[in-house]
């Protein structure tokens, strides 16, 4: 079994790390560079930084922040938010990001995935998908989960892979911030369909949720935010526990 990855996620708004529940009720939790360095020290395998209110004007601020993160961190990190063309990705990769994550912009312009993969390599391209279950149909949403689209979760994940995505970061909006566990059934279905790694996001609340997401959900990585930000679960404790459950971690 390939070692499973533990990935803290830091949502960034106006240069600060924030957290919400079901994508609303946003609260500030601290400086992203300090938090990122702390997680790296504790054994996080990777980090994801998402500029959740990215606009064209905010892009420069975020590039500066990415430079600061790259200076402080010794583990790989992915950045996302507001990347809608090649030059946005180029600016963030040049600033020191290891991978870039695209979401709404890929839904609106799927060819962006092809272009990024062709220019930078598939290993740099993470396609993030926020989806919600409407009466049994998993619908892809955009704009931080605010707007439902015509796209269906599984066919969109497959299309993203075919176009050159190196990884899929799937967030179930029904599970996000609830701490009631990940969308394991959907994750397993996706894992059986795709060849690329899947990062599970939305719903982490206990160590057993990570056991379940790796075994039942067949995910390659588990991503969480509030349980780490609010020190409910320590990364070293989580990794020790996973090892006792027979799960390979780094």
CA distance 177 to 204: 8
Tokens standing for residue 3: 């070692």
Known active-site residue 135: no
Q: What are phi and psi of 230, to 5 degrees?
A: -95, 15
Tokens standing for residue 121: 């390599």
Known active-site residue 130: yes
For the beta carbon of residue 244, count every other beta carbon within 10 angstroms.
Answer: 9
Tokens standing for residue 219: 């995910």
Q: Which one of the listed residues 11, 51, 88, 220 is annotated catalytic?
A: 11
SS3 percent helix, strand, coil of the chain, rounded to 5, is: 40, 30, 30
| Total H helices, total E strands in the chain | 10, 12
* Residues 157 and 128 sit within 8 Å (Cβ to Cβ): no
SS3 call for 157: helix
Q: Which one of the listed residues 130, 176, 212, 220 is annotated catalytic?
A: 130
Nearest CA-CA partner of 33 in 95, 86, 90:
95
CA distance 110 to 248: 35
CA distance 154 to 86: 26
CA distance 64 to 225: 23
Q: Which residues are catalytic?
A: 11, 130
């Amino acid at each position: 079994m390939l070692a499973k990855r533990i990935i803290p996620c830091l949502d960034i708004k106006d240069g600060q790390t924030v957290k919400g529940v079901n994508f609303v009720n946003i609260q500030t939790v601290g400086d992203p560079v300090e938090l990122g360095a702390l997680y790296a020290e504790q054994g996080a395998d990777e980090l994801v930084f998402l500029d959740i209110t990215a606009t064209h004007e905010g892009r420069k601020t975020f590039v500066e922040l990415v430079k600061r993160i790259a200076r402080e961190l010794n583990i790989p990190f992915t950045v996302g938010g507001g990347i809608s063309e090649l030059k946005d990705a180029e600016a963030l990769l040049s600033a020191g990001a290891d991978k870039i994550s695209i979401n709404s912009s890929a839904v609106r312009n799927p060819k962006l995935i092809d272009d990024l993969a062709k220019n930078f390599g598939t290993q740099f391209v993470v396609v993030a998908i926020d989806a919600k279950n409407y009466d049994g149909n998993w619908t892809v949403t955009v704009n931080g989960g605010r707007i439902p689209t015509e796209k269906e979760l599984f066919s969109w994940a497959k299309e993203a892979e075919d176009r050159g995505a190196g990884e899929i970061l799937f967030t179930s909006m029904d599970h996000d911030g609830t701490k009631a566990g990940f969308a394991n059934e959907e994750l397993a279905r996706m894992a059986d369909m795709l060849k690329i790694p899947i990062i599970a996001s939305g719903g982490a609340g206990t160590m057993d949720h990570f056991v379940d997401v790796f075994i039942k959900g067949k995910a390659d990585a588990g991503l969480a935010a509030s349980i780490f930000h609010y020190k409910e679960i320590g990364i070293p404790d989580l990794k020790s526990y996973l090892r006792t459950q027979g799960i390979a971690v780094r």
